[in-house]
Homo-oligomer: A and B are copies of this chain.
Amino acid sequence: MSIQAVAAKAGVSVATVSRAFNFPGKVTPATRELVERVAHELNYVPNASARTLRTQRSRVLGVVLPTLLNPTFAECLQGIARAAVAGGYAIIPVTTGYKLDEEERAVHLLLAGNVDGLILVVSNPSSSAALPRLQAAGVPYVLAYNRHPDHPCVSVDGEGAVADAVTRLVLLGHRRIAMVSGTLAASDRAQQRYRGYLKGMAEAGLAAPALIEVPFVETAVDALSSQLQARNRPTALICSNDLLAIRSIRAAHLSGLSVPGDLSVVGFDGIALGEDLTPALTTITQPNSDIGRHSVELLIQAMASGATLQADASLLLPHAFRDGESCASVHEDDNNAAIS
């Protein structure tokens, strides 16, 4: 069903049909109604490709993210999807599995697909080969979760958040506080959060034990278990994300430690599921859905004004400490063991 058919049946020109749809005001009410009626009868739907070809705007946004298996990104994508439809845009998501070459491939794919703009969560803005590509192409984009002075970003203050979390644990009496992270090199978020941990520990005058890095998620529980059975095991764990926190809790149980009785665990991300667990996850929450929504809105706004987004458009969204049940005051004897 093309615009031609509608024009013919309505006895007007294609230009009039086009106007009736795109500039209803520029057409006599009578002819507009006529066109609308005929279009409806013929079940006419404007052809998106033709329109895109002609206007050079696809009204499609590309989304590049590491994985959908982490609810954090699923929640974010949901936010993106909602905001996109609300703004009249469709989205094409591509997952990269935290792999740099996949990031590049994804951007290439999306650019070839004629997207008007991109939202991406990259491993590390500094080392991403995809970003220069994007800038060269002149396509507007915004980074979500990442933080970098040279790029437009929508994120939270992960460093400050973790530092605060350390302070809270210290107030609960914890002294041996360890951090658990995925591969540090694979994510600037993990690096920021680790910095926050170090900062918080330094401020409390505590020595920070070595980072517990669990590169491959499959073996995370085993790796953690051995650490938790060590002589001077930590009394509290700060985990770089909620998935790790959940696995840490499991590792604790497998090691015969109860949470929060013997071990306190704090997560990061604020995935919805955390509230339904037992113990309910204590975590630093990010507004995942809002991160997605704001990314879309920033992008749409930039595209409307014809400019590509600059770094100074970056948004820092508020985080929060969600008090759950996986954290408690430290046992007296535990700390004694630490001191002695």
List residues of A whose CB falls within 8 A of some B CB.
43, 45-50, 52-53, 58, 60, 67-69, 71, 74-75, 77-78, 81-82, 85, 90-95, 108-109, 111-114, 136, 221, 243, 246-247, 249-250, 253, 272-273, 276-278, 280
List the B residue with the shortest CB-CB distance to A62: B90
Report the separation of the CA atoms of residues A90 and B77 in the bound assembly, to the nearest whole angstrom: 16
Is B92 within 8 A of A92, CB to CB?
Answer: yes
Q: Apart from A47-B53, A249-B278, what 19 extra A-B contacts exist at CB < 8 Å?
A: A48-B112, A48-B114, A49-B49, A49-B53, A60-B92, A67-B78, A68-B77, A68-B78, A69-B71, A69-B272, A71-B71, A74-B74, A81-B94, A81-B95, A91-B92, A92-B92, A243-B273, A250-B278, A277-B277
Is chain A's interface secondary structure helix, strand, loop, or mixed overall?
A: helix
Report the separation of the CA atoms of residues A273 and B274 in the bound assembly, to the nearest whole angstrom: 11
Residues of chain B with a CB closer than 8 A to A68's CB: 68, 74-75, 77-78, 81
Report the separation of the CA atoms of residues A69 and B275 in the bound assembly, to the nearest whole angstrom: 14
Residues of chain B with a CB closer than 8 A to A75's CB: 68-69
Could you pull out 6 A-B pairs where Cβ atoms are within 8 angstroms? A48-B113, A68-B77, A69-B71, A71-B74, A71-B273, A91-B92
Is A95 within 8 A of B112, CB to CB?
Answer: no
List the B residue with the shortest CB-CB distance to A249: B278
Report the separation of the CA atoms of residues A246 and B281 in the bound assembly, to the nearest whole angstrom: 13
Is B114 within 8 A of A90, CB to CB?
Answer: no
Q: Assuming the A-B contacts A49-B52, A69-B78, are A246 and B277 also in contact, with contact meaning beta carbons closer than 8 angstroms in the complex?
A: yes
